[in-house]
Amino acid sequence: MKFLKKLFLIFIIVISLLLGASAIALKIKYPPEKIKKIALQELSKKLGREVSFGEVSINLFTGISISEFKCSEKPNFQKGSFVECEKFSMGVNLLSLLQKEIIITSIKLTQPKVKISRELDGKTYNFSDLLTAEKEEAKEKIEKGEKGLKISVTKIKIIKGLFQFLDLSPAKIEATLSPINLTVQGTSFAQPLKINLDTEISGKIPGKFPNLNGNIEFSGVIHALSQKIKADRFIIKIPGLYELNLTGNIENFAQPSMDTTLKISNLSYAELIRIIPLEKFPKFLQALEIKGNPNIKLQTKGTFDLEQFQKNNKRQGSINFSILADFKETEIQLPPSIRKNKGVPLELDLVGQWNSKEIETIEYSKANLKYKESSIETSGKIVNPTSNDPSFSLNLKGSNLLLDEFTNALQYKLPKGLEIKDSLNFDASINGNPNQLEFTFKADATKAKVLLPNLLNKESGTVLELHFNGQIKDKENVEFSNLELRAFQSEVKVKGKILKFNSDASSLDLNIKTSFVQLEELLKQLDSSKIGSFKGNAFSNFSLKGSKSKLEIDGELNLNETAILLGAEPARIFTKNKGTPFNLKMKSFISFASPQVSLDSQFFDIQSLQIQMGKSSISAKIALKESNRKEKIFNAELHSPDIAMQELSLFLPSLTNLNLTGRIQPHFSVSGELPLKSFPKITGNINLDELGGNFKNISFEKINGNLIFSGNSYDFPNLSGRIANHPFKLKTSLKNIASPEINLEMEIEKLDLSSLITKSSSQGETQSTQTNELKTRGSEKTSVSNQFPESKFKGRIKIKEALHRNFESGNISFDWNLSGITPNLNKISGTAKLRTFGGEVKNIGAVEKILKIIDPNLNLLQFNDIGGDFNFKDGVVHIQDLWVESDKLNIGTEGTVSLPEKKCDIQILAHYSGAALAASIPIAITGSLSNPKVEKKSLSILSTTLQEKILRIRPKTKEEMLELKEFKEQKMLEKIEEKKAKEEEKKEKGEEKKIQSQERVTEKQELKKQREQEAIEKIELKKSEQLEKAQEKQELQKQKELDRQEKLEEKEELKKQKEEERLERLKEKEEERLEKLKEKEEKKQAQEDED
């Protein structure tokens, strides 16, 4: 053994001496300058470029060293340098040559520089010629069968290297790696190589990265022969873009098997999308905006056939992956409405598997999105995700979705006052492919609380569910096999389809059915106190068909089992009892002038609207269309063969107190423009058939007539019936709505005003409480009243007998012809005339004050005749002649009344029949109409015309007085009989007695009417006989009055003269008496003096 060691030592020494001798021989034969020259020539020839270097050092122990090595661009240095290296050193194990192996112990490059450039064509590089020469040389060696030496490198080190890429093509990309510090350790490429790399990158990519700077670090092991990479640290930092940190293992480069973890931080989404071709992504991702620094961790484990992908563009393999992303420190916005603010927690936890053999699939075992306390979980798979026809099988589950947080995140501006709180849960599934997707959706918002003042108040715990099953076909057609909404013990079902929903040519065909609705439970959640109440069940069935431009609605609403109260008391406007038939059937069309659906562009045509109210039916048509002038015009029609007013009153509380009977038959249409610039046009008629009822204690019955609408005029040509059991006739018309002309003619047999005025007075207190409110609305009313046009009003009312507890009269006739009528009455002008015959007045406000002035004991004024002529001018009533004639007292009146100011200035002269004018009582009424000032005045202030008018009132003849006496006696007798009848009726009991009493009352009333008629006819006959003599008597009376006046004046003069003569005589006598008394006193004084 020792021998072998000595022998081996001697061998090594001999070989070393031989090598040393050889090196000395080589150095003598081939000095360094000669070797350098030969090397430069061979390298230039091989490379086709100029090559230069400085010192070359060859040492058997230290290896080879070359300084300042340079290689030019093709063909010489005038084109620039291709490769440079300040110093290149390589250590070689020479003994390895004996085994036909080259072992390089180290390679060290100090400040190497490589400049790569791409030519204008974008395909040719400045090293392309070297690749061609290398391929030809390799081909020659293969043809010659030459075998190369086995080479291994123990260590490679690059210090402060530089790699530069220049792009002369239109892309204009520039990149520089500097300084490059690289260390590779290993015995050979057949063994694992430990690599450490640290470099900085800079450059630019026009249009995407104008200024690119970053850092690359790698630390790991690469086993080229085994095709394995173990990355302990692989970091790419590009400030303003991202920071990547990759760790893990990759095996089999052709068919990689990987187990890696990639961490992404400091990601700038805005900068990243500049270098990603977004046109290949969905539109919503193209619009996505992310600001801030999300943290993303991606783990992958599996295999991928890279060779098949490169050759055939086929993806084959199986990779398990997981993604954990934290977006808390980011601001996310997806226009138009989704937004997440920075600092709000948002996490994504995704676990799945990608698998591709014959079919490519992505299967998610977990895909959870957590927003604050809310989460959405997804599982399922996608088949052929990258193909044009992927298929899906996904399940989604939303848990504890806090609605208020989601509305904030969605940046959806809720209506004012709307509050949404608490959570929503849902389950959904999606199956199929983009051309045919089947989906289900179930949502439960029972825990949610929704509050909208004056409309909705859903408390937490109230059931609210949505179930949805359907399909999406051809990416644009939706079909609902079932859509159910359950809320407040109510249920709504929808079936149908929507076609081409993504285009302007979209259309729909839906059926909407409310199969069972508990309205009372529903309205508990609605603030319906101001609207009213609904109780019971409602059923509806509607279909919607059409497109964006035109929609057809056809269906019905059944409210038979619904009790309805609309409006709060006391202003209730509609009521319906449960069980009373009430149905609506409708067929209509809605059209839109533009694809943007809005009220401004909406037009509709309700071709048929059937309303069943009890036994009455109403049909209507309503349309809103566009005129040739691009203005909106509306047209509505209403028809009914018969509406029973008693039944209608059951639905309209405002009619209940009227106790309506009879029927009406409406047939009319209304049309006009919107917005309303003038009163709409109405045509048609409403027929009244035996209409009856009671209004403020005034009964009316057997009202028949026809109200006719003719565009801008309305006519009631033949209205007749009975008021308070007395017949009347009415004829009225209204023409020209823009400037109304009203004509009214009415005849009433008998009118009892007691109940009406009593009712009105009982409302006085209520009206007074509303005075302040009316005053506050004064300015508003004035502005509204000014909008009313001036109107004309002409007519005549005849009442054969009028009764009231304070007033009684017969044969009342009132005629008027007025124009310029406005709400404030400041322009009214025209004439009016009043005539009455026989009656009495007592206890009526200002009249009572006047009577008290005339005679404190006068509480009742029985008159024979009242007449008046009035002239209206600019809102002022001029009382031309107003008189009251009675047996003992005649009253004349003149003056003015200002209607706008509600003030009066009236003079009254009361004159006893047969008395001198000087004995008349003058009275003035001034001030406001509501509280006038009534006072006695001097006769001298009254006008002479009023004095003359009072004298023209003639006394009644004996015949007229007799007729009036008979009329009054008859009236008194009728009152006594009525009183007795009422007393007897009260005493009688039982149905028979009441009927008999009623019959007697009826007979007496008929008898009374007959007597009244006979008396009136008799009086009218007498009056007509006297009318011919009236003028002659009036002239005679006037002459007699003048004569009497002259005689009175003569008598007054004579009386005055006699009085003066008497006074003169008395004066003379007094003077005589005084003279005598003086003489007597003088005599007496003289006698006393003598004494």
Q: Burial letters for 305-320: b for 16+ Cβ neighbours within 10 Å, e otherwise?
A: bbebeeeeeebbbebb
Distance CA 8, CA 21 (A): 20
Peptide bond before residue 570 is cis, with ω within 30 degrees of 0: yes
Distance CA 69, CA 48 (A): 16
Look at 817 and 652; give whichever has higher pLDDT. 817
Coil, helix or strand at residue 220: strand
Rounded to 5°, angle at Cα 86 from 80 and 92: 120
Q: Is the pLDDT of residue 451 over 50?
A: yes
What proportion of the chain, given as a percentage, has pLDDT over 70?
A: 72
Helix (H) or strand (E) holding 978: helix 958-987
Lookup: tokens for 20 = 């040393």
- Please provide the average confidence, as pLDDT, over all residues in the chain: 77
Residue 995's contacts (CB-CB under 8 Å, 6 or more residues apart) are none
pLDDT one-digit tens code per residue, 641-700: 999 998 888 888 888 888 899 999 999 899 888 777 777 888 999 999 999 998 877 788
Residue 49 pLDDT grade (very low, low, confident, very high; cuts 50, 70, 90)? confident
Q: Which of 612, 611, 593 is nearest to 602 (CA)?
A: 593
Of 9-23, 82-96, 105-119, 535-549, the poorest mean pLDDT is in 9-23
CA atoms within 13 A on the CB side of 665: 8
Of 279-293, 376-390, 864-878, 1032-1046, the poorest mean pLDDT is in 279-293
611: left (phi over 0), alpha (psi -120 to 50) or beta: beta
Q: Burial letters for 846-880: b for 16+ Cβ neighbours within 10 Å, e otherwise?
A: bbbebbebbeeebeebbbbbbbbebebeebbbebb
So what's the pLDDT on residue 1065? Answer: 83
> Do residues 589 and 550 lie in contact, with contact meaning Cβ atoms separated by under 8 Å?
yes
So what's the pLDDT on residue 9? Answer: 42
Peptide bond before residue 206 is cis, with ω within 30 degrees of 0: no
> Do residues 379 and 346 lie in contact, with contact meaning Cβ atoms separated by under 8 Å?
no
Of 250-259, 542-551, 685-694, 832-841, the poorest mean pLDDT is in 250-259
Cβ neighbours of 1007 (radius 10 Å): 12
Residue 897 pLDDT grade (very low, low, confident, very high; cuts 50, 70, 90)? very high
Let me know if 683 is exposed, middle or buried by CB neighbors in 10 A (0-12, 13-18, 19+). Answer: middle
So what's the pLDDT on residue 281? Answer: 59
Q: What residue type is 234 in one-letter code?
A: F
Cβ neighbours of 161 (radius 10 Å): 19
Of 284-293, 391-400, 785-794, the poorest mean pLDDT is in 284-293
Q: Could you give the C-alpha distances from 358 to 93, 314, 318, 727, 730, in angstroms and in order? A: 52, 10, 12, 100, 96
Detail the DSSP E strand segments found in 696-806.
Answer: 698-711, 713-723, 726-735, 741-748, 751-752, 791-804
Look at 286 and 905; give whichever has higher pLDDT. 905
Let me know if 127 is exposed, middle or buried by CB neighbors in 10 A (0-12, 13-18, 19+). Answer: middle
Residue labelled with tokens 């003086």? 1078
Residue labelled with tokens 């209206």? 872
Coil, helix or strand at residue 529: coil
Q: Is the pLDDT of residue 244 over 60?
A: yes
Of 243-257, 595-609, 1056-1070, the poorest mean pLDDT is in 595-609
Look at 120 and 982; give whichever has higher pLDDT. 120
Look at 586 and 1013; give whichever has higher pLDDT. 586
Peptide bond before residue 192 is cis, with ω within 30 degrees of 0: no
Question: What are residue 286's phi and psi, to 5 degrees?
Answer: -65, -30
Coil, helix or strand at residue 322: strand
Q: Is the pLDDT of residue 470 over 80?
A: yes
Helix (H) or strand (E) holding 671: strand 661-674
Cβ neighbours of 556 (radius 10 Å): 15
Distance CA 693, CA 630 (A): 47
pLDDT one-digit tens code per residue, 614-639: 888 899 888 887 766 667 888 899 99
| Residues facing residue 716 across a β-bridge | 732
Q: Is the pLDDT of residue 997 over 70?
A: no
Question: What are residue 581's phi and psi, to 5 degrees?
Answer: -60, 130
DSSP state of 653: G
Q: Which of 1038, 1025, 1030, 1016 is nearest to 836 (CA)?
A: 1016
Distance CA 36, CA 30 (A): 10
Distance CA 1086, CA 1083 (A): 5
Distance CA 722, CA 738 (A): 33
DSSP state of 288: -
pLDDT one-digit tens code per residue, 912-921: 766 665 567 8
pLDDT one-digit tens code per residue, 934-983: 888 776 655 555 555 555 554 455 554 555 566 566 666 766 777 677 67
Rounded to 5°, angle at Cα 1067 from 1061 and 1068: 95
So what's the pLDDT on residue 780? Answer: 42
Secondary-structure breakdown of the chain: helix, strand, coil percentages, each rounded to the nearest 5: 30, 50, 25
Distance CA 131, CA 108 (A): 24
Detail the DSSP E strand segments found in 784-859.
Answer: 791-804, 807-821, 829-842
Sketch the domain layout of the chain as residue ranges.
64-221, 240-358, 820-956
Distance CA 584, CA 557 (A): 5
pLDDT one-digit tens code per residue, 437-446: 888 989 888 8
> Do residues 232 and 247 lie in contact, with contact meaning Cβ atoms separated by under 8 Å?
yes
Residue 596 pLDDT grade (very low, low, confident, very high; cuts 50, 70, 90)? very low
So what's the pLDDT on residue 504? Answer: 74
So what's the pLDDT on residue 122? Answer: 80
Lookup: tokens for 1025 = 């006989």
> Do residues 85 and 112 lie in contact, with contact meaning Cβ atoms separated by under 8 Å?
yes
Cβ neighbours of 46 (radius 10 Å): 13
Q: Is the pLDDT of residue 93 over 80?
A: no
Distance CA 301, CA 385 (A): 19
Distance CA 585, CA 543 (A): 12
Q: Is the pLDDT of residue 911 over 50?
A: yes
Q: Is the pLDDT of residue 770 over 50?
A: no
Rounded to 5°, angle at Cα 62 from 61 and 65: 140
Look at 957 and 46; give whichever has higher pLDDT. 46
What proportion of the chain, given as a percentage, has pLDDT over 90?
A: 11
Of 158-162, 311-315, 456-460, 606-610, the poorest mean pLDDT is in 311-315
> Do residues 390 and 408 lie in contact, with contact meaning Cβ atoms separated by under 8 Å?
no
Q: Is the pLDDT of residue 4 over 50?
A: no
Peptide bond before residue 336 is cis, with ω within 30 degrees of 0: yes
pLDDT one-digit tens code per residue, 515-535: 766 666 666 655 555 567 778
Of 98-107, 389-398, 505-514, the poorest mean pLDDT is in 98-107
475: left (phi over 0), alpha (psi -120 to 50) or beta: left
Strand 150-153, strand 101-118: pairing: parallel
Residue 844 pLDDT grade (very low, low, confident, very high; cuts 50, 70, 90)? low
Distance CA 993, CA 332 (A): 92
